[in-house]
Amino acid sequence: MRKGHALRPPARRGHELKGFSEVARSDLDGHGNAVGIASPYPSGSSFPVRFDAAKGTFERLYGLNEGVSAVRANDDGLIVTAVGDFWQDGMVWSSGGKPVCDLSDHDWLVGSIQEMDMHTRPWVYDGTTVKIWGGGSPDVFASAVNSAGRVVGKQELDAGLAIGSATVGWSVEILPDSVVLLPIDEPSYAADVSDTGIVVGGLRSFGLARAAYVYNLETGDLRVVEPPEGCVAAALHRIDPSGSVAVGPGFCDWRGDVPLVYFVAEDRLVPLEYLTDLSPGWRLVVAQAVNAHGQILAWGTGGQTGQGETGYFILTPE
């Protein structure tokens, strides 16, 4: 085991995963339950599923449409799909077709929708009503909401280039009546916000994120997090509710895409594979989520041949 944040090695893809090409790799709640989509063979059809951590089994979320992934889950047992359908304790209902970007504890929901004027604006559900937020600002996309109802995302504005102009994104906090640009001096996007007001995202104009960033809404402190040694690009897209651990994608010249994990208090960003020992032939590709206990949901590829299989992993701090 390498030094650092001690994690139990993820189990190899076992018999409970046999026959699945994608399993529970979208989100992880505070109880260690994962949600996603499964495609059993030989039918080829797919459906939303949840991995029950206490039972160690998968369950199909009956009542939700086939072909749609469960994308978010909170500690209240509420699960939402990519098209805005909800599942809780076997009951199913719909948002009316509004796509959901994020779900928090206390059941705050956010998403973005194109209105009649062809501009995209965020919608927010506060547990009682759905409202369009942002004070009419054009082309604003919500990405995340915390349990206190603070919403972050990006605003797209025109930027002058040597060869003309293009639309680029700027990190914002979205309020009911206005959109506030975060004090970041280059194009960026706000990807997630913790319950403590820590925002994570990436700095970029086009293509890969140049570097990750961490911004504290309470203190105004901005921290640019450069890619770790051997990597040329990095971003952070999820942070745990306490604001302690964040995960995101990186690109390393020696292996391509790698998942990264960032420890906020230590200001330490490392490839996730440095923190655990994988079975031979496997490599992690994406770190998808992190929960309040520091558990990380990731998925990877490999198997005995080193290719052709997909497996999910939940890494738990010791």
Distance set, CA 187 to CA 86, 144, 190 (Å): 34, 18, 10
Which pLDDT score is estimated for 178? 94
Which pLDDT score is estimated for 146? 97
First to last CA, the chain: 12
DSSP string, 192-250: EE-TTSEEEEEE-SSSS-SEEEEEETTT--EEEEPPPTTEEEE---EE-TTSSEEEEEE
Which residues, other chains included, contact 47 with Cβ-Cβ below 8 Å and sequence gap of 6+? 37, 38, 60, 61, 64, 66, 67, 68
Which pLDDT score is estimated for 299? 83
Distance set, CA 71 to CA 37, 132, 196, 209 (Å): 9, 22, 23, 23
Per-residue pLDDT for the chain (318 aa), expressed as one digit of tens each? 233 333 333 443 332 332 334 566 789 999 989 998 876 655 667 889 998 888 878 888 999 988 888 999 999 999 999 888 999 999 998 877 788 899 998 889 999 988 878 889 999 998 888 899 997 777 899 999 999 999 999 998 765 544 444 567 899 999 999 999 999 988 999 999 999 999 999 997 556 678 999 999 999 999 999 998 888 899 999 999 999 999 999 988 766 789 999 999 999 998 888 887 777 777 888 899 999 988 888 888 876 554 567 777 888 887
Cβ pair 296, 314 in contact under 8 A: yes
Which pLDDT score is estimated for 78? 94
Cβ pair 252, 269 in contact under 8 A: no
For residues 131 and 110, what is the distance between their CA atoms, to the nearest angstrom? 10
Which pLDDT score is estimated for 18? 29
pTM above 0.75, yes or no: yes
Burial of 62 (0-12, 13-18, 19+ CB in 10 A): exposed
